[in-house]
C-alpha cells in the first residue's frame, strides 16, 4: 500500500519490525545467573554490552528493522538481514564478556528472549529475500556452507566462549562428539534401512493394488503411536530376542539401548518412503510407459530407465521428510539408553540447567535445518534434470 511520497510498506516487514521493536524495547537481550542452576536476571541490550558498542549495535538493528518495513530491493534486504544477524552474534559474545565478573568461573550468561526474537525476525527477513531471489540449488548449498563456516569461525575465534552453552560444552567435549556420532548413526542408519526396505515395498504396493491398502494402513497405525510408547513396546520383544536367540546380544540387540531406538526410527521411517514411492510411480505419465513398451523395453528396463527416474524427485521428497523427522526423534532415544544428543537434553531437564538442554537441542535443530536445505536443493536439481 502506498504510504506518502510513493513509499510502500512491506507486509512481512511489518511483522519483522514489530518483532524487532518488541525485542529491543521490552524483552531482555541476555540473562545473567550467579551459577548454572539458579534463576537468572534479565539484562537489556544497552546494559548487556559495554558502551559505545551497545549504542552502535542498537542503532544498526533499529535502522535495519525500519528498512524491513518498506519495500526495497531484494539484494539490499538480504545484505541488511545478514549484517543484522552477524551483529547479533557478535553482540551476544560481547555481552558474555561484559557481564561475567573477571575470574568468576561459576557465573553464566545466556541469550534471552530478546536475542532469540531478533534472530528469528532477521532470519525471516533473510529467508524472505532468498525466496524472492529464487537462487538455484548450487547457490543455496553454497549459502549453507558459508553459514556453517561463519559459525565455525565464530566458535574458533573464542567470541562465544563466555556463553553458558559453551561452558557446558567445555566440560563435556569428548562425550558431546560421541553422542553426536550416535545421533547421526541412529538417524542415517534407520533412514538407510527404511530406504532399502521401503522402496521395494512401495514398488510392490504400486504393482499389487490389494496389497497397497493393507500396507499403508498398517504403517499409518504405527505412525500414530507416540514415540516414547513405541520405544517402550519394543523393550520386551527385543529383550526376549537378546536372551533366547544365539548371537543376538553379541551384535548389539537388547531390550534397552540403541537397538529399540533404531527399530522405532526405522518403523517411523517406512510410511513416508513407501507412500512417496507409490505416489511417485503413480505419477509417471502412462504415455511414457506405453512408449517404452512400444520400443521393446522389458519390464525391468521400463522400471529402471523410465519409471524410477521420473518418480525419483517424489521419492527423494519422502527421504527428506524421513531424515528431518529422524534427526528430531533420535533425541528421545536417550530415554531408553540409546544415546544421542537427547542425553544432554534430559540431563539438563533433570538438573534444571537450561544451558545443558540447549547443548543438546541447538545442534539437533541445526542438523535438521541443514538436512532440509541440502535435500531441498538436491530435489530441485533432480527436478530440473528430469
Looking at residue 4, its pLDDT comes to 47
**Plot region of 201 (φ>0 → left; ψ -120 to 50 → alpha; else → beta):** alpha
The model's confidence at residue 144, banded by pLDDT at 50, 70 and 90, is: very high
d(CA 202, CA 206): 6
Considering only CA atoms, which of 379, 385, 271 is closest in space to residue 325?
Answer: 271
What are the tens digits of pLDDT across the range 22-42? 999 999 999 998 887 788 899
Q: Which residues of 172-186 are buried (b: 16+ CB within 10 A; e: fewer)?
A: beeebeebbebbbeb
d(CA 189, CA 334): 17
Residue 340 C-alpha cell reads as 544421542
Looking at residue 106, its pLDDT comes to 85
Contact 140/373 with Cβ under 8 angstroms?
A: yes
pLDDT at 295 exceeding the cut of 90: no
Contact 254/242 with Cβ under 8 angstroms?
A: yes
Contact 367/379 with Cβ under 8 angstroms?
A: no
For the chain, the average pLDDT equals 89
pLDDT at 116 exceeding the cut of 60: yes
* Pick from 126-140, 177-191, 246-260: least confident: 246-260
Greater pLDDT, 49 or 236: 49
**Number of residues that this document lists for the chain:** 386
For 299, half-sphere exposure in the C-beta direction (CA atoms, 13 angstrom radius) is: 2
Question: DSSP per residue over 187-207, as a string?
Answer: HHHHHHHHHHHHHHHHHHHHH
Question: What percentage of the chain exceeds 70 in pLDDT?
Answer: 98
Question: DSSP per residue over 7-52, as a string?
Answer: -BB-HHHHHHHHHHHHHHHTS-SEEEESSSSSPPEEE-HHHHS-TT
The model's confidence at residue 363, banded by pLDDT at 50, 70 and 90, is: very high
Fold for the domain defined by 173-385: MetI-like fold (1.10.3720)
* Pick from 181-190, 233-242, 314-323: least confident: 233-242
> Which residues are paired to 31 by β-bridges?
42, 110
- What are the residue ranges of CATH 1.10.3720.10 in the chain? 173-385
Per DSSP (E only), the strands in 13-160 are: 30-33, 41-43, 108-111
Please, which contacts does 377-386 make with residues 24 or more away whose CB atoms are closer than 8 Å? Answer: 377/137, 377/138, 377/140, 377/141, 378/137, 378/316, 379/313, 379/316, 379/317, 379/320, 380/136, 380/137, 381/137, 381/138, 382/312, 382/313, 382/316, 383/313, 384/137, 386/309, 386/310, 386/312, 386/313
Considering only CA atoms, which of 375, 131, 140 is closest in space to residue 272?
Answer: 375
Contact 282/312 with Cβ under 8 angstroms?
A: no
Looking at residue 297, its pLDDT comes to 85
What are the tens digits of pLDDT across the range 242-283? 787 877 777 677 777 788 888 889 999 999 999 999 999 999
Stated pTM of the model: 0.86
What are the tens digits of pLDDT across the range 210-228? 889 899 999 999 888 888 8
Considering only CA atoms, which of 320, 332, 317 is closest in space to residue 262?
Answer: 332
Looking at residue 75, its pLDDT comes to 93
Residue 168 C-alpha cell reads as 557446558
What are the tens digits of pLDDT across the range 55-78? 999 999 999 999 999 999 999 999
Residue 63 C-alpha cell reads as 535502522
Coil vs helix vs strand at 182: helix
Considering only CA atoms, which of 273, 258, 122 is closest in space to residue 195?
Answer: 273
Contact 275/282 with Cβ under 8 angstroms?
A: no
Amino acid at each position: 500500500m502506498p504510504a506518502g511520497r510513493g513509499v510502500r510498506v512491506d507486509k512481512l516487514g511489518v511483522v519483522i519490525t514489530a518483532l524487532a521493536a518488541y525485542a529491543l524495547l521490552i524483552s531482555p537481550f541476555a540473562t545473567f545467573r550467579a551459577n548454572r542452576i539458579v534463576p537468572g536476571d534479565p539484562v537489556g541490550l544497552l546494559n548487556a554490552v559495554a558502551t559505545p558498542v551497545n549504542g552502535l549495535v542498537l542503532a544498526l538493528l533499529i535502522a535495519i528493522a525500519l528498512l524491513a518495513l518498506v519495500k526495497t530491493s531484494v539484494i539490499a534486504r538480504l545484505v541488511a538481514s545478514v549484517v543484522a544477524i552477524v551483529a547479533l552474534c557478535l553482540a551476544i559474545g560481547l555481552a558474555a564478556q561484559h557481564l561475567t565478573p573477571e575470574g568468576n568461573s561459576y557465573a553464566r550468561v545466556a541469550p534471552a528472549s530478546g536475542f532469540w526474537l531478533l534472530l528469528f525476525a532477521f532470519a525471516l527477513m533473510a529467508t524472505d529475500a532468498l525466496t524472492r531471489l529464487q537462487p538455484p540449488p548450487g547457490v543455496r548449498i553454497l549459502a549453507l556452507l558459508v553459514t556453517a563456516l561463519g559459525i565455525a569461525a565464530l566458535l574458533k575465534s573464542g567470541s562465544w566462549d563466555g556463553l553458558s552453552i559453551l561452558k557446558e560444552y567445555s566440560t563435556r567435549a569428548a562425550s558431546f562428539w560421541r553422542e553426536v556420532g550416535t545421533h547421526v548413526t541412529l538417524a542415517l542408519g534407520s533412514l538407510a534401512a527404511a530406504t532399502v526396505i521401503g522402496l521395494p515395498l512401495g514398488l510392490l504396493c504400486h504393482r499389487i493394488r490389494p496389497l497397497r491398502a493393507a500396507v499403508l494402513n498398517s504403517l499409518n497405525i504405527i505412525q500414530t503411536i507416540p514415540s516414547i510408547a513405541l520405544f517402550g513396546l519394543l523393550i520386551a520383544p527385543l529383550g526376549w530376542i537378546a536372551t533366547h536367540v544365539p548371537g543376538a546380544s553379541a551384535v548389539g540387540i537388547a531390550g534397552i539401548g540403541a537397538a529399540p531406538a533404531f527399530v522405532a526410527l526405522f518403523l517411523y521411517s517406512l510410511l513416508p518412503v513407501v507412500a512417496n514411492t507409490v505416489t511417485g510411480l503413480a505419477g509417471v505419465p502412462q504415455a511414457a510407459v506405453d512408449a517404452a513398451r512400444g520400443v521393446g523395453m522389458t519390464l525391468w528396463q521400463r522400471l529402471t530407465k523410465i519409471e524410477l527416474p521420473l518418480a525419483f524427485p517424489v521419492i527423494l521428497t519422502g527421504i527428506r521428510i524421513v531424515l528431518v523427522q529422524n534427526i528430531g526423534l533420535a533425541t528421545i532415544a536417550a530415554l531408553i539408553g540409546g544415546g544421542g544428543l537427547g542425553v544432554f537434553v534430559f540431563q539438563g531437564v533433570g538438573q534444571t540447567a537450561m544451558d545443558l538442554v540447549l547443548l543438546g537441542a541447538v545442534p539437533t535443530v541445526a542438523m535438521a535445518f541443514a538436512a532440509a536445505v541440502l535435500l531441498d536443493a538436491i530435489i530441485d536439481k533432480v527436478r530440473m534434470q528430469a
